[in-house]
Amino acid sequence: MRDLDSFCEGLPSAASKVRWVECKSAMSPSRLPGLDLTLNPYQGCAHDCTYCYAPYLMRRERERWSEVSAKADLPRLLRAEASKRRGVIGLSTATDPYQPIEAGLRLTRRCLEELVRAQARVSVLTKSDLVVRDADLLMKLPKAEVGITITTSRDDLARIFEPGAPPPSRRLRALRELNEAGLDTYVFIGPIIPYVTDAGMDELMAAIVGSGCRRAMTDRLRLRPGMLARMTSRPGAEALGDDFAPLCSSEQYLAAMERMVSDRCAAHGLRVQNAF
Ligand code: SF4
């Protein structure tokens, strides 16, 4: 096992908590639509989005979700597995493959090198503009697609609920750069949050269309125990008003918001698909 200290210099403080873990296999079967296999280089996520439900699915302690573990053996295991297993590989589904530690660690990049070697089908989903660094490898993959998650065009609102992630302005710039590089992209608008996603919708649509992206996927807010309390206790959330919490709890309102976002995307010429 390697010492991570050298990787952590100059990275956000959460990175200093990264640990190595060993894994038995590189990929797992996926139950997500459009994906056959999942590949998660990390456990936990320093983006620390308040609405993240991955820790609930992974049965991880929510309070420790931002403590990141890196899968040490992944590139080696992937070399053996990638050429034997067929289908679209989701990179990644239970963490962000381009969270801050990846800038120094390059674990996701090393996995991509193996996937290029195997000429695998890959679908990336991230909230980070760091993905642009790997455009060279992604371009060498057959039919690779890259999704960028955006919940709002407003950097100030995103900071409330996605404290560790790059601001949407950087993600939208990344979307443009990926398209300019010739990659197939889509924007993942989700979770759709009352007073957050609908704020700056015109700017969001203009930026997506202006980036060259032609596809959108939408997803509604999916509350889990303790999640709403975590969201409303974030600094800045109080400015969203007293009806923010009730609206986040209303399935009817959330469904209406998702329809509204889908309609806006379609009106701007985007091909829209609901995530689940
Ligand atoms: S980027 Fe994704 S995996 Fe990471 S905390 Fe946010 S929602 Fe969870």
Say if residues 148 and 185 touch (Cβ distance below 8 Å): yes
Say if residues 210 and 176 touch (Cβ distance below 8 Å): yes
Fold of 5-274: TIM Barrel (3.20.20)
Model confidence pLDDT, tens digit, residues 17-72: 568 999 999 999 999 999 999 999 999 999 999 999 999 999 999 999 999 999 98
Which atom of ligand 1 has the smallest separation from the CA of 53? 8
Q: Residue 3 — pLDDT band, cuts 50, 70, 90?
A: very low
Is residue 48 in contact with ligand 1, taking CB distance under 6 Å? yes
Backbone torsion region of residue 87, taken as left when φ is above 0, otherwise alpha when ψ lies between -120 and 50, otherwise beta = left
Q: For tokens 């995103």, name the residue.
A: 158
Rounded to 5°, the CA angle 211-166-268 comes to 25
Q: How far apart are CA 50 and CA 271, in angstroms?
A: 28
Is residue 171 in contact with ligand 1, taking CB distance under 6 Å? no
Q: How far apart are CA 121 and CA 189, in angstroms?
A: 23
Which atom of ligand 1 has the smallest separation from the CA of 45? 4
Residue 7, pLDDT score: 46
Residue 17, pLDDT score: 55
Which atom of ligand 1 has the smallest separation from the CA of 127? 1
pTM for the model:
0.93
Is residue 47 in contact with ligand 1, taking CB distance under 6 Å? yes
Measuring CA to CA, which residue among 78, 133, 141 is closest to residue 102?
Answer: 133
Distance (Å) from CA 105 to ligand 1 centroid = 18
Q: Alpha-carbon torsion 130, 136, 139, 140, what sign?
A: negative
Domain range list for the chain? 5-274
Model confidence pLDDT, tens digit, residues 138-165: 999 999 999 999 999 999 999 999 999 9
Query: Which long-range contacts link 5-8 to residues 24+ away (Cβ below 8 Å)?
Result: 6/104, 7/101, 7/104, 7/105, 8/101, 8/104
